[in-house]
Structures are given as C-alpha cells and as structure tokens.
C-alpha cells in the first residue's frame, strides 16, 4: 500500500475512536495518545481497526512503535499487502 493509503486508513480508524477529534489538525510527528487524549482502550481499538482494514496483526510489544501517525505509516509500510 502507498503511504497515503495507509495514512488514510489510520485516520479513518482514529475518526471512529475519537469522533470529536479534528483529524486534519493532527501533527503526524507527534504522539497520538497525547494529541488526541487516547487511553489504552482507544489504542487497542486502533490496532483492531488497522487489523480489520489492512490485515496486519500488530503484537502488543510493538504498540510503542506506532506512537505517531508517521510512525504508524513507517511500521505498516513493509507489512501491508501490495508492498
């Protein structure tokens, strides 16, 4: 998948988790937890949402590697189909 597609998936999932968030205001380099006030349930739902959309099952130990939007893209790029 192209970076833009991965980014779009992550943003869509975030939109479901935090309907009140202004997604276009997200700084892709900054920690999502802090920016959107996400808790562990939100993070789990993010991982589930990504799994459902892209088919990548992210082990719990790798959650810290998915801290920001850019980090998510970097992590998912080699793991998503079509790459």
| Interface positions with another protein (CB under 8 A) | 5-6, 8-9, 11-13, 15-16, 18-21, 23, 36-37, 39-41, 44-45, 47-49, 51-53, 57-60
Q: Which long-range contacts (CB under 8 A, 24 or more apart) does 38-45 make?
A: 42/17, 42/18, 45/13, 45/16, 45/17
CA distance 63 to 72: 9
C-beta of 48 vs 71, nearer to another protein: 48
Closest approach of Cβ 22 to another protein, in Å? 8
* Beta pairing partners, 31: 68
Closest approach of Cβ 11 to another protein, in Å? 5
Closest approach of Cβ 8 to another protein, in Å? 4
C-beta of 15 vs 71, nearer to another protein: 15
Largest CA distance in the chain: 33
């Amino acid at each position: 998948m192209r970076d833009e597609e991965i980014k779009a998936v992550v943003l869509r999932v975030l939109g479901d988790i935090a309907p009140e968030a202004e997604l276009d205001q997200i700084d892709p380099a900054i920690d999502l937890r802090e920016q959107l006030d996400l808790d562990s349930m939100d993070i789990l739902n993010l991982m589930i949402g990504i799994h459902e959309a892209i088919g990548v099952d992210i082990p719990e130990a790798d959650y810290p590697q998915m801290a920001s939007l850019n980090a998510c893209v970097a992590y998912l790029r080699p793991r998503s189909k079509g790459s």
